[in-house]
Structures are given as C-alpha cells and as structure tokens.
Amino acid sequence: MEWQTPQKPATTQQTAVFPPQSQETGKPAKPRISYDDFAKLDLRVAKILDAEPVEGSDRLLKLKIRVGSEERQLVAGIAQHYAPDELLGKKIIVIANLEPRKIRGVESQGMLLAASEEKDGKLVKLCLATVDDSEFPDGSALS
C-alpha cells in the first residue's frame, strides 16, 4: 500500500482591506481617500480649558481649548456622555485646520475626534480620542 498525502482543496482567501460596511454596525463605510487627502488634515493635541452647555441644546457643549499657544472654541455633541467638569484638563485630539462653522449660533473652530457606537439610530456610547501622557505638549502634531 502506498501512502499519499491528502490533497487540500484549492481555496482563495480574500481579505477585505476596506469592507463595504462595518460588520458590527452594518453602516456603510466611507469611500477611500488618497494619502494626499489624509495629509491635508492637521491633527493636533489640545487641552480642554473650559466647558459649558450650549444654550438651548441638551447635546452640545462649548469647549475652550488650547492648541499650542492658541486658544480656540469648539462646539461638540458630547453633553449626553460627558459632564463639563469632567472634561477640564483632558488632552484631546482635534482637527485643527477645519474651516470654522456656526452651530446653534456658536462658532466652532475645529473638531474633536471620538469613537462612537450607535444602536437603532441612537448614539449609545462615546469615547473621546485622548492622549494618555499628560506631559505631552498642547499643539503637538499627530501623524
């Protein structure tokens, strides 16, 4: 009797580098961008100096931040997940070169980054993108 090595069926394994939708949320993924498009973003470390609710909104907070030597104001829809006093001193990541925009009559001069989870179209969980090392200088660039 002659021993033969069993033949493995030919398989083609494809790894989705950028899936058409997230398997967890079922939300469509955004289209790919070029490296040049990504390089246009100015991501910076910013320190939250002050936070207060935006009048007439239960979802928005107005944040005073420091990015390097510059102080700015951001408006963020995080009030249902963070109390103003727990944000003070946090080092967050912001898009520093976003064009200013008025939100509920308040100018926002950038955007903070956060991870979020939605269920049935409602935001149920939110976590700010922060820098762990509190000694990291405000205004430091991310790459």
pLDDT digits (tens, 9 = 90+) for 16-52: 455 555 555 566 788 999 999 999 999 999 999 999 9
More confident residue, 77 or 2: 77
Q: Is residue 89 in a domain?
A: yes
pLDDT surpasses 90 at 141: yes
Alpha-carbon Rg of the chain, whole angstroms? 22
CATH of the domain at 100: 2.40.50.140
pLDDT digits (tens, 9 = 90+) for 70-114: 999 999 999 999 999 999 999 999 999 999 999 999 999 999 999
User: 92 exposed, middle or buried (CB, 10 Å; 0-12, 13-18, 19+)?
Assistant: buried
Q: Is residue 143 in a domain?
A: no
Token reading at 86: 């727990």
pTM, whole model, 2 decimals?
A: 0.79
Q: Which domain holds residue 48?
A: 35-128
pLDDT score of 17: 53
Q: Are 137 and 45 in contact (CB under 8 A)?
A: yes
